[in-house]
Amino acid sequence: MDYVKNPKEIEDKSMQIIYDYVKDLGLTDDEVRVVSRTVHASGDVEYAQLVRMSPGAVQKGIEALENGANIYTDVEMVRTGISKPALKIRGNEVHCLIKDENVAKMAKELGVTRSIAAMRTFGKQLEGQIVAIGNAPTALYEVLRLALEEGIKPALIIGIPVGFVGAAESKDYLMEVSPVPYITVKGNKGGSPIAASVCNALLYTDVKRNDMLFVEGKESK
C-alpha cells in the first residue's frame, strides 16, 4: 500500500497529466485552468472537448470575484464543493436557498420547482454576481428569464445541469440567448462537482494571474 499521500503533490501531478488534453485547445491560461478543473473533478478527459465559454467569460468571472462578487448556487452540493479555504482567503461568500422554508412554500403555491423559487427569491441580488448551477435545468431557465425579462444580469452564469431530460436543452438555450457571459458543458454531462470546480478554478486564480493558488486543505470539499 505504497501511495502518494501529499495533497499538493497529487494535485500537481494531476494537473500535469490533464495539461496534455487541454494545451492545444487555443485557450488562455485562465481558461486552461477552468477546463482542467472540470477534468480533474470528473476524472473524465472528455470535458476538455465539452466545456463551452463565451468570449472573455473566465476573465469576467475572475474580475467579479476580485471585486467582491458572491456566488449563488442552485443546490447544496455546489455550495459544499466550493473550497471553504479559498473563500476565506478571497473573502467571497456562497449563497443557496434550496432548503429555505419560504422557498419551499413559494414553490408549492406557484406549482414550480424549488430551484425556480430559489432563483426567483434571489432576484435582484443576482445583479453583478456569479450564478453557479449544477443540478436543475429549471434553475438555469429561471436565471435566464430573470436576465431577459427582468433585466437582472449576473456577471457570469456557470450553467452546468446534468442529465438526460432537459439538461442539454437548457444548456443549448443558455448558449443561444444568454445576454451575459457564461461557462457551460455541451450535452448531458455536468453536475454539482463540475459547477463547483469552475468556481474553484476562478477562486484559485492568483490575483496576479500568474499562477494557480494552492489552498492547503482544499481537498476537504
Which residues form the catalytic set?
40
Stretch of residues binding its own copies (CB under 8 A), selected from 10-18, 25-33, 54-62, 200-208: 10-18
Query: 42-101: which residues touch its own copies (CB under 8 A)?
Result: 42-44, 75-77, 80-81, 98-99
**Which of 60-68, 86-94, 134-142, 151-159 is the region at the interface with its own copies (rule: CB under 8 A)?**
134-142
Q: ∠ CA(131), CA(133), CA(134), 5° rounding?
A: 150
What's the rounded Cα separation, in Å, for the pair 130 and 23? 26
Contacts of 150 (CB under 8 A, 6+ apart): 123
Strands 71-73 and 130-133: parallel
Using the rule CB under 8 A, give the single segment among 39-47, 125-133, 151-159, 207-215 that binds its own copies: 39-47
Out of 61, 154, 159, 191, the only residue in the binding site for its own copies (CB under 8 A) is 191
Tell whether residue 13 is a contact of its own copies (CB under 8 A): yes
d(CA 196, CA 188): 17
Shortest distance, position 45 Cβ to its own copies, whole Å: 8
**Residue 26 binds its own copies, judged by CB under 8 A:** no
Q: How far is the CB of 207 from its own copies (least distance, A)?
A: 27
Cell reading at 32: 486552461
**Closest of 175, 201, 192, 207 to residue 18, by C-alpha:** 201
From the CB of 152, what's the least distance to its own copies, in Å? 16
Q: Report the DSSP beta bridge partners of residue 73.
A: 96, 132
The residue among 128 and 187 lying less far from its own copies, judged by its C-beta, is: 187
Binds its own copies by CB under 8 A, chosen from 165, 176, 208, 210: 165
Distance CA 146, CA 214 (A): 35
Strand-by-strand arrangement of the 130-133 sheet: 51-53, 182-185, 156-159, 130-133, 71-73, 94-96
The SS3 call for residue 118 is helix
Q: By C-alpha distance, which of 218, 74, 71 is closest to 140?
A: 74
**Contact pick of 60, 114, 120, 218 for its own copies (by CB under 8 A):** 114
Q: Pick from 192, 200, 204, 218: which binds its own copies (CB under 8 A)?
A: 192
Task: Give the interface with its own copies as residue ranges (CB under 8 A).
Answer: 1, 3-5, 7, 10, 13-14, 17-18, 40-44, 75-77, 80-81, 98-99, 104, 111-116, 135-138, 141, 144-145, 162-167, 169-170, 173, 187-193, 196, 217, 219-221
